[in-house]
Structure 1
Amino acid sequence: MDHFPIFLAVEGRRIVVSGGGETALAKLRILLKTTARITVLSGAPAPDLVKLADQGKITLIARAFGPGDALCAALVYAANDDAAEDARVARLARADGALVNIVDNLEDSAFITPAIVDRDPVTIAIGTEGAAPVLARAIKADLEERLPVSLGLAARVGKAFRKAAEALPMGRKRRDFWADYYFNAAPKVVETQGAAGLDAALSELLAKHLADAPTEGRVDLVGAGPGDPELLTLKARRLLDRADVVIHDRLVSPGILELARREAILIDAGKEGFGPSMTQAQICALMVDHGKRGAHVVRLKGGDPAIFSRLDEEIEALEAAGIAWSIVPGITAASAAAAGIGQALTKRGRNASLRIVTGHDMKGFAEQDWRGLARPGTVAAIYMGARGARFIQGRLMMHGADPATPVTAVENASRPDMRSIATTLGQLAATLEAEVLTGPVILLYGLCPRTAEAALPLPHPTSLADRKEEFA
């Protein structure tokens, strides 16, 4: 993002506009919604500008912008519909120390004015960094329709009540009160009693929330999916928005963490195979500690929480501490990787089952039913298998797997930088050792990318006994 969005305090401060035509008037329609002191400079002001000055809404100076006119100004707009004049105004204003916007000149402007949805004091700013003004206007129109005009009234009354609401403890308890007010009490009261009933409604609601029992903590064990934020489930998205604490794995993408509330505590509980890790005991202790303090905790796990994530150990720790929990499934990496190469994980006539195995466990490279995996027609998703590729290759071929069996390594499944590396079992270790793999990798044994499927020879469906001479 090239422009950092902020809300600038302008109450009582000067905003200067240079220009006297329609462009200047368009900016004033937004600026007049503020409590700033607005000065307009123009040698030939339009009649509507003169009228605004007569009404006391602006200070109109009937001359061109000059040196010193931007002193102590919070913002300056160059809106003269003349590139040379706008450049001159911008140069003088910068010399006075002001932030300058040249209308329709993004490159030379220090700030941009977003499209605004005004439900004062609720203000929604929509910006596209100049790339798509039409899109910003469409979003504005959509939000205008969705947000009732009474929202601003409820917010103004609520703003005056914030001090009283501090009687509630900071965090989830206080958020529940305000959510109850804005989404339940306020709309009903405004509809039936109007603004007059809001003060009493707030006092009654606060008394009710103060009398309620302390909020109990809970932990939701949530699948973050393979990395693409759009593959997050609606339920997972909603829980992230409500969580006080998010304890996340290393493989959870930054785009998904961005969906957490800004006030939420984010704790990296990342683990890396054969590398530094937070211990499982530490992770369980964190969940229990925050849960006992009444926090809503989201334990965010890459992929699906029920696949190779030590879910049972975390549930046992929560149950032992008496903390409520739930599981929210996620899309697992095997599904995303297969989708990325255009293949199904099961296919009639090819494989009626799918094996999901891990390349390593806590003790190192993991032993599997290699004889079963080596049978012709087997399809397996091997998680965390890249570093153990030579070990996996050796075990499978030792138990009779055809070296021509297709294997696809998928790195960063579902993410923008996803890539697939098609090879065969006989070339697996050499192929992966020649690649620079920095992201999470899943091996799809028995599958190749659909575009390459026809080019790779299929394993010959013979038994190990029929092929004993190859291994003699």
Structure 2
Amino acid sequence: MKHFPIYLSMTDTRIVLSGGGAAALAKLRLLLKTEAQIDVYAPTPAPEIVQWAEQSRLTLVSRPLMLEDLTNAKLVYAADEDPSVDARTQALAVKAGVLLNVVDNLKDSDFITPAIVDRDPVTIAIGTEGAAPVLARALKADLEERLPPRLGFLARIGKSFRKAADALPMGRRRRDFWADYYFTAGPRISNQDDAHEKLQELLTQHLEARDRAGHVQFVGAGPGDPELLTLKARKALDTADVVIHDRLISPEILELARREATLLDVGKHGFGPSTPQEDIDALIVEHAQQGAQVVRLKSGDPTVFGRLDEEIEACDAAGVSWSIVPGITAASASVASIGQSLTKRGRNGSVRFLTGHDMQGFADHDWRTLAMPDQVAAIYMGKKAARFVQGRLLMHGATPDTAVTVVESASRSNQRVLSTTLSNLPNALATAAFDGPALMLLGLHPRAACALVLDPMKQELA
């Protein structure tokens, strides 16, 4: 992040702008929405600027900017649309120690002015660091359409009631009150006259209500792409007090959690150091018993090889309520990435999910059925078990040219797809040197249209 977004107080603040043409007008239309004192220096100002000065909305000085004009200024805009004049303004700003914005010149600017969605006092700033102004405008238009015009009215009423709402303890109870106001009670308020009475009634209800009990949501984070999160998973992250997450949860998904939420990494490393399951169980229960809304965030779907039952049993034993939010499992994401389906009429009417992480009992699988033609299976965490899988299948009659596809980091930007055969599986994996989470699909090859397929026979990326 090259530019850090902040909101500057404009109360009793002086902003200086040099310029009187189209660029100056564009900036002034935005700056005039603030409480700042605006001084414009322009020998030949546009008629609109003259009119604003006559209306006392700004101060107009019909001469070039001088160094002494920058005394007590917080911001200065160079908007003359003339490189030599803008360079002169820049030199004056540097000498005066004032933050400068040169219009349409990111390189020489100390700050940038974002696209703004205005629902005063609710404002949303959109910046692309100069990379995509068209995208910023498109996002602004989309948000303008989505946000109701009455949002500003609700926010102004809410702002005036904040001191009264401090009677509620800080934290979840206060957040619940404001959520109730903005999303349930507030939109039903028709006019400002009875707004405070309605808010006082709502506050009384929340003051008299008992503390909400802690609750655990077992949430599937999907394979890693944040766009594959369900809406219910997004909502859970947005309201969680505590997020207890696996190692494989992508940073982009963790970024969606509330800023105030406590994030706890209890990741397990395959065949390496891990947080003991009983410690994870205890952590979940401890936070829920303290009244927290807990999200136990699991990669993929929590019901597939997620040790979910053990954590549910710990909640039940402690009398903690829980619910499950399913997610897209890695098998679905992996098979989608190679353009195939897990089942196909006339080929296979069933599919098996196996885990190669826990080798205990692995030999007892029905390998004879899996070795038959046209069978499909998804093996989770199977990289280290590849030679064992190969041996069992060949021993039970699978052909050496049986298709095998291994998908690493399915759905993520660094996804890789290894297409090989059963006879070459261990060697192909060694050559590919996958170091991310990988899922093995037995009986499937990628369709020709799929990109990023690693061919171990050619030793090259197609």
Q: TM-score, normalised by structure 2?
A: 0.92
Give the corresponding residue for 1:443. 440
Distance in 1, Cα, partners of 2:137 & 2:449: 45
Give the corresponding residue for 2:369. 372
Give the corresponding residue for 1:76. 76
Give the corresponding residue for 2:459. none
Give the corresponding residue for 2:149. 149
Aligned counterpart in structure 1 of residue 398 of structure 2, from 381, 398, 401? 401
- Shift of the alpha carbon at 1:366? 6.9
- Shift of the alpha carbon at 1:364? 10
Give the corresponding residue for 1:322. 319
Aligned counterpart in structure 1 of residue 281 of structure 2, from 260, 284, 292? 284
Distance in 2, Cα, partners of 1:146 & 1:373: 51
- Shift of the alpha carbon at 1:363? 5.6
Give the corresponding residue for 2:458. none
| Contact 1:360 1:366 (8 Å CA) reproduced | no
SS of corresponding position for 2:38? strand
1:62-101 alignment to 2 at 5 Å?
62-101=62-101
CA change 1:413–1:148 in 2 (3 A) is closer
Distance in 2, Cα, partners of 1:172 & 1:244: 8
Name whichever of 349-358 and 216-225 sits farther off. 349-358
AA matched with 1:60: L
| Contact 1:365 1:391 (8 Å CA) reproduced | no
1:441-463 CA deviation, whole Å, 9 max, x = no partner?
0011111112299xxxxxxxxxx
Aligned counterpart in structure 2 of residue 361 of structure 1, from 346, 358, 361? 358
Q: Is the aligned partner of 1:19 residue 2:19?
A: yes
Identity fraction in percent: 64
Give the corresponding residue for 1:123. 123
1:144-183 alignment to 2 at 5 Å?
144-183=144-183
Distance in 1, Cα, partners of 2:383 & 2:184: 52
Name whichever of 139-148 and 172-181 sits farther off. 139-148
- Shift of the alpha carbon at 1:169? 2.3
| Contact 1:411 1:441 (8 Å CA) reproduced | yes
CA change 1:64–1:364 in 2 (3 A) is farther
CA change 1:424–1:94 in 2 (3 A) is same
AA matched with 2:216: V
SS of corresponding position for 2:247? coil
Q: Is the aligned partner of 1:34 residue 2:34?
A: yes
AA matched with 1:211: E
Name whichever of 360-369 and 97-106 sits farther off. 360-369
1:182-202 CA deviation, whole Å, 9 max, x = no partner?
22322222x1xx212122222
- Shift of the alpha carbon at 1:303? 0.7
- Shift of the alpha carbon at 1:33? 1.2
Distance in 2, Cα, partners of 1:387 & 1:87: 62
AA matched with 1:29: R
- Shift of the alpha carbon at 1:61? 2.5
Give the corresponding residue for 1:470. none
Give the corresponding residue for 2:454. none
AA matched with 1:222: V
Q: Is the aligned partner of 1:198 residue 2:195?
A: yes
Name whichever of 153-162 and 174-183 sits farther off. 153-162
CA change 1:38–1:6 in 2 (3 A) is same
- Shift of the alpha carbon at 1:49? 2.4
Name whichever of 305-314 and 140-149 sits farther off. 140-149
1:15-61 CA deviation, whole Å, 9 max, x = no partner?
11011223212211111111122121122223332333333322323
CA change 1:144–1:341 in 2 (3 A) is closer
- Shift of the alpha carbon at 1:116? 1.5
Distance in 1, Cα, partners of 2:359 & 2:163: 52
Distance in 2, Cα, partners of 1:319 & 1:49: 69
Aligned length: 450
Give the corresponding residue for 1:352. 349
- Shift of the alpha carbon at 1:367? 5.6
Q: TM-score, normalised by structure 1?
A: 0.90
- Structure 2: where are the runs of 5+ without partners? 451-462
SS of corresponding position for 2:194? helix
